[in-house]
């Protein structure tokens, strides 16, 4: 460190010193970093248990220095339910992509929310199946080209992209729903605050907490990371607006 300077930002030590396998510019890494910043700042390494999905972030446990379980495709909500019910004093989160949470695992998602399971969903919505090679997701935008919608998603036969935050916020037992993104520094800061708030609400036992992150996939969107931010701003956010859909009263959280 140069003399006369102080360190004000560093990689959290709870994020293991490994090179993550994600493509350049992928928000998976950003979200991993944010979660681990919270774990480090709050000193809750012994309290947090995470559940990995199937998809690109299937290897999240390689990087996060906390106890983790790997779930079958779509079943992370059921697995997280099992953990949280056995260890109610821990902070449990499931980390799931759109195929995982909103296609193959929709039933598990909806019913965990409906029971008010007291864990945090971190839902990474990038509108595409990353690991399997860029196929259509339930959240793929109208007209968006993927390897299984090569001429663009056709709503007449595939429906419209599913809005999970709007959907789960209708369920009475859900305590907190917010949609965030990491496409700008301000939004990334907000995303971190949302996850912090979700953990806080979880610790209070107020019900299900659900954070949707509008994410990117430069490799399968076939663009540069910079262009992926443009796509989010121009195409994704008008359809998936950011904001709080549901939250408990302030005095309940504090």
Binding status of residue 234 toward another protein by CB under 8 A: no
Q: Pattern of binders to another protein over 66-105, x per CB under 8 A?
A: xxxxxxx--x-xxxxxxx-xxx--x---------------
Toward another protein, which CB reaches closer, 68 or 201?
68
Binding status of residue 160 toward another protein by CB under 8 A: no
Toward another protein, which CB reaches closer, 149 or 174?
174
Contact indicator for 178, 166 with CB cutoff of 8 Å: no
| C-alpha closest to that of 197 among 123, 126, 248 | 248
Toward another protein, which CB reaches closer, 19 or 250?
19
Residues 6+ away with beta carbon under 8 Å from 55:
73, 96, 97, 99, 100, 129, 130, 131
Q: Compute the C-alpha angle 122/238/52, nearest 5°.
A: 15
- Which stretch, 172-180, 199-207, 218-226, 237-245, contacts another protein (CB under 8 A)? 218-226
Q: Pattern of binders to another protein over 172-191, x per CB under 8 A?
A: ----------x-xx--xx--
Toward another protein, which CB reaches closer, 115 or 235?
115
Binding status of residue 222 toward another protein by CB under 8 A: no
Binding status of residue 26 toward another protein by CB under 8 A: yes
Toward another protein, which CB reaches closer, 25 or 134?
25
- Which stretch, 157-165, 203-211, 217-225, 231-239, contacts another protein (CB under 8 A)? 217-225
- Per CB under 8 A, the list member of 35, 49, 198, 236 interacting with another protein is 49
Contact indicator for 195, 35 with CB cutoff of 8 Å: yes
Q: Compute the C-alpha angle 57/52/113, nearest 5°.
A: 120
Q: Which two tokens stand for residue 164?
A: 């999970």
- How many residues touch another protein under the rule CB under 8 A: the total is 69
Binding status of residue 124 toward another protein by CB under 8 A: no
Which 3 state secondary structure label does DSSP give 20? coil
- Which stretch, 43-51, 150-158, 206-214, 244-252, contacts another protein (CB under 8 A)? 43-51
Give the other-Cβ count within 10 Å of 240's Cβ: 21
* Element of type H or E holding 136: strand 135-136
Residues 6+ away with beta carbon under 8 Å from 156:
none
Q: Which two tokens stand for residue 77?
A: 């909500």
For tokens 């509008």, what's the residue? Answer: 214
Contact indicator for 129, 147 with CB cutoff of 8 Å: no
Using CB under 8 A as the criterion, which residues of the chain lie in contact with another protein when the complex forms?
Answer: 1-2, 4-12, 15, 19-20, 22-30, 33, 45-49, 51-52, 58-59, 61, 65-72, 75, 77-83, 85-87, 90, 107-108, 110-111, 115, 182, 184-185, 188-189, 218, 224-226, 229
């Amino acid at each position: 460190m140069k003399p006369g300077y102080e360190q004000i930002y560093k990689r959290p030590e709870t994020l293991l010193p490994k090179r993550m396998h994600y493509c350049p510019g992928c928000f998976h890494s950003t979200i991993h970093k944010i979660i681990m910043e919270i774990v480090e700042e709050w000193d809750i390494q012994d309290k947090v248990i995470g559940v990995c999905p199937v998809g690109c972030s299937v290897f999240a446990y390689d990087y996060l220095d906390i106890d983790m379980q790997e779930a079958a495709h779509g079943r992370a909500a059921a697995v997280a339910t099992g953990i949280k019910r056995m260890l109610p004093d821990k902070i449990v989160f499931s980390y799931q992509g759109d195929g995982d949470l909103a296609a193959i695992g929709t039933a598990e998602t909806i019913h965990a929310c409906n029971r008010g399971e007291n864990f945090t969903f971190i839902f990474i919505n990038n509108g595409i199946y990353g690991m399997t090679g860029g196929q259509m997701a339930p959240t793929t935008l109208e007209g968006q080209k993927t390897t299984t919608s090569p001429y663009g998603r056709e709503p007449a036969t595939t429906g419209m992209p599913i809005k999970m935050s709007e959907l789960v916020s209708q369920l009475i037992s859900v305590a907190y729903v917010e949609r965030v993104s990491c496409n700008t520094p301000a939004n990334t800061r907000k995303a971190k605050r949302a996850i912090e708030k979700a953990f806080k609400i979880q610790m209070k036992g107020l019900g299900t907490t659900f954070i949707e992150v509008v994410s990117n996939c430069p490799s399968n969107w076939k663009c540069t990371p910079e262009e992926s931010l443009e796509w989010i701003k121009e195409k994704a956010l008008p359809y998936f607006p950011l904001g709080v859909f549901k939250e408990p009263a302030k005095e309940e959280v504090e």
